[in-house]
Amino acid sequence: MVVPSRRVLAVSVSFFALSLGALQAQTFTEPVPAPDFVVTATRSPLAISQAGSAISVITAEEIAKESLTSPAEVLRRVPGVTVVETGGPGSTTTVRLRGAESGQTLVLIDGIRVNDPSTDSGEFDFSNLAAVDIERIEVLRGPQSAIYGSDAMGGVINIITRKGKGAPRVSVGMEGGSYGTKAGRAAVSGSNGPVSYAFSTTGFDTAGFSRYGYRIGRIEDALSFPLEPDSAQRLGAAGRVSVAISPDVEFEIGGYSSYNRVQIDNAASAFEFLPDAPSQTQQRLYEGHSRLTINAFDGILKNTFLVSGSRTDRDYRLVGISPFSGFYWNNYGYQGERLSAEYQGDLKLGSYGLLTFGAKAEQENLISTSRSVLPFSTPENEDIDASQTTRSVYALHQFSLFENLHLSLGGRVDDIEDGDTFGTWRATAAYEIPSSGTKLRASVGTGAKAPTLYQKFDPFSGTADLEAERSIGFDVGIDQRLADDRVLLSATFFANRFRNLIAYGVADTCRPDQFYGCFINVNRARTSGVELSADVDVVPAWLRVKASYTYLEAFDEESDLRLARRPENQGRLGIAITPLPGLSIEPSVVFVGSRFSSPGELNELAPYARFDLYADYKINDTFSVYARAENLTDADYQEVYDYGTAGRSFYAGLRATW
C-alpha cells in the first residue's frame, strides 16, 4: 500500500517490526462494533440507542448496490446530506451536511482525516472515493468540532473499510454498461491466529459524455458541432493488517490510495469562448496510518497511539480561448500534505461513565505551481509553499443517570502556530423509554474551521491574519420503534448559525496590490430544517420500504438570499422486494427540489425526480448476478448550471465470493 510520506512509512515500519518481534499466538480483546453500535459519535464504540447525536449508518449491503463509478451516490440515502456531481462520474463531487459548506464537512477514512489541504476551502472531493471494500459509512450530523476539531462544522463522514476476521474471504466482481463503462473490484480478508488482514482494489473506465452541455437543449441547439465526450478512469486500493501482540495490545498498519484521471470542461462565461475544451485533471490521494492500542489496568484504561498522514496531488491542464490572450494552455499543480500524531485515552469510571481525552499535533503543507504552455511558454513557477502546525487537546465525558438517561459533555482547544486559537464545546442527551420503544435525543454545540493555507498564503488573494470560521447549532429528535422493531421512524429538527465566514471580496484590509479583492472574514449564514426517515419491514423477508426526506432553509444573513446548491426539499424512497429466494428487486426514486447553482440566487435549477432500479440474483453460495438501471424515465436535470447528467442507462455485473 502506498503511503503519503516517507516519515509516516518509517514510523509505521518501525512499529510493525517491534510488533512482529513480540508476536504471540493470542487474540486481542478489543471489541469490533456490532451493527447497532457506532464509533464516530463519541470516538469510541457506543450503542446507537444511547447516542444523543443524529447519526446514520450506511451498511456494506447498501453500498454494494451503488455504481462502482460513483460510490458517493449512496450518501443520498441519508437525510440532511446534499450530493452535487459536476457533470458525471469522476468529476468534482461535493457533499454538504445540513446546508453547511462542503469544506465544513470533515471526512475520515478509517478515522484518518483526508480533507484536501491544497484547495481554497479545504473540502474533500468525493470523486477520489473508490469503491474499495467498505464495511460501513457513518454520517454524524451537527457541529462536531468539540471532538474532531477544524472542518467538522456541518458534521463528520467516516468511511470505515473492512477489517479481516475469521476464515479467508475472497470476492471479485465486474460490471459494464452504458457510456462504454467497464468496472471491476477484488478483495481478500481474514485472520490467522493473532494476525488479521484485509486488502481490496477497484477500478473503472468510462467513455462518458460531455460534461458541458450534455442533454441541455439550449446549449446543444445553439452549437453547430457535436459536443465531445469526456472520459474518466479511476483506480483505488485499500489495506489493513492488525497484529494482536497480546490480549491487551494490538498494532495496526493500513492505508488507502486512489488515482482519478478525468477530462473536464470549462464553464461558459464572458471570459471563456471554448467551454467544451480538451482540458484534463489528474488527482492522486494517499492515506497511511499506524495505530497501537494498549489496554491497561485490567481494561480500565485504553490507550491509543496514532501516527497518520494523507496527501492529495492535483494536476490540471486547462485549455481554452480567452478574449484577452486568445488560445491558451496552462498547467497548474497543487500538493497538499497532512502529517499528525495523536494520543487518545478512554478511562472507564465505573458508575461515573467513560472519560475520553487526548492530544494531537498536526502539520499541513501546501505547494502550488503554474506554467504557461501557450500562447507563450514559461518555466514552472512555484506560487505557494506554506505550512502550519495545529496543536489540540480535547476531553469528552459520557455518563448515564436513572439508567435510561445518557449524557455527554465535551470540549476542545485548537491552537494554530502563529495563527488563531479557538475553543469549542458540545453536549448531548438521549432518553430511552423501553416500554414504548422510544428514544428522545438532543444535542447542542459549537463548530469552528481554521482558515486554509490557500486562503492565508495565496500571493494574489491571501490574507495571513484570517480568523477561524465559527458556528453554533442544536438539534432535537425522536426515534421510534414499533411492531416488534419492524418499523423504525426518526424525526429531527435542527438549526445552525454561522459567523466569521471567509469569503472573497474587496475590503480596506486587502493589500494595495490586491486590486480585485482578497479573502476576508465577513459573511454570516443560518440554516435550519427537518430530517425524516423511515424503515418499515412491511412483509418480513419479502417487502421492505426505506424513505428519507429533508426540508432545509439555508440563507445568507447579509443579503437574506438562499445559499447556492441547497435544495429546500429533497429525499429518497426505496422499496426492497424479495419475490423469490435469492432474488432481490429494489426500485427507488430520488427527488431534489429547485435550488440556485450560483450565489446571489443566480442560475436557478429546476426540480427533478430520478427513477432507478436495482436487481440481483444469488445463483448459489458463490455467484450472484445483478443489473442496475439508472434514470429510467430519462429525466433531464442539472446539478450544476450548464453541466450535464446521464440519461437512461443500464449496467450489469457478476460477483463471486468464497
Q: Please tell me the number of Cα atoms within 13 Å of 286 on its side-chain side.
A: 19
By DSSP bridging, strand 438-449 and strand 421-433 are antiparallel
What confidence category does residue 403 fall into, taking pLDDT thresholds of 50, 70 and 90? confident
Q: Which residues, listed in sequence order, are joined to residue 569 by a DSSP beta bridge?
A: 551
Residue 81 vs residue 14, higher pLDDT = 81
Give the pLDDT confidence score for residue 268 in this predicted structure. Answer: 72
User: Could you report the per-residue pLDDT of 205-250, keeping only the tens digit for each?
Assistant: 999 999 999 999 999 998 888 999 999 999 999 999 999 999 999 9
Mean local confidence (pLDDT), 531-560: 97
| pTM as predicted | 0.94
Q: What whole-number distance in Å separates Cα of residue 93 and Cα of residue 85?
A: 4
* Residue 180: strand, helix, or coil: coil
DSSP string covering 339-405, please?
A: EEEEEEEEEE-GGG-EEEEEEEEEEEEEEEEEEEEESS----EEEEEEEEEEEEEEEEEEEEETTTE
User: Could you report the per-residue pLDDT of 127-146, keeping only the tens digit for each?
Assistant: 999 999 999 999 999 999 99
Residue 13 has pLDDT above 70, yes or no: no
Mean local confidence (pLDDT), 524-550: 97
User: Could you report the per-residue pLDDT of 15-59, keeping only the tens digit for each?
Assistant: 333 333 333 334 444 444 556 899 999 999 999 999 999 999 999
User: Could you report the per-residue pLDDT of 271-316, keeping only the tens digit for each?
Assistant: 778 888 899 999 999 999 999 999 999 999 999 999 999 999 999 9
Phi, psi of 551 (to 5 degrees): -105, 125
The three cell numbers of residue 401 are 443517570
- CA 44 from chain centre, in angstroms, equals 20
- CA 49 from chain centre, in angstroms, equals 24
User: Could you report the per-residue pLDDT of 482-514, keeping only the tens digit for each?
Assistant: 999 999 999 999 999 999 999 999 888 899 999
The three cell numbers of residue 251 are 498494532
The three cell numbers of residue 437 are 420503544
Give the pLDDT confidence score for residue 32 in this predicted structure. Answer: 47
Q: What percent of the chain has pLDDT over 90?
A: 89
User: Could you report the per-residue pLDDT of 355-401, keeping only the tens digit for each?
Assistant: 999 999 999 999 999 999 999 999 999 999 999 999 999 999 999 99
User: Could you report the per-residue pLDDT of 416-467, keeping only the tens digit for each?
Assistant: 998 999 999 999 999 999 999 999 999 999 999 999 999 999 999 999 999 9
CB neighbours of residue 655 within 10 Å: 19
**Whole-number mean pLDDT of the chain?**
93
Q: What percent of the chain has pLDDT over 70?
A: 95
Q: Is the preceding peptide bond at 459 cis, omega within 30 degrees of 0?
A: no
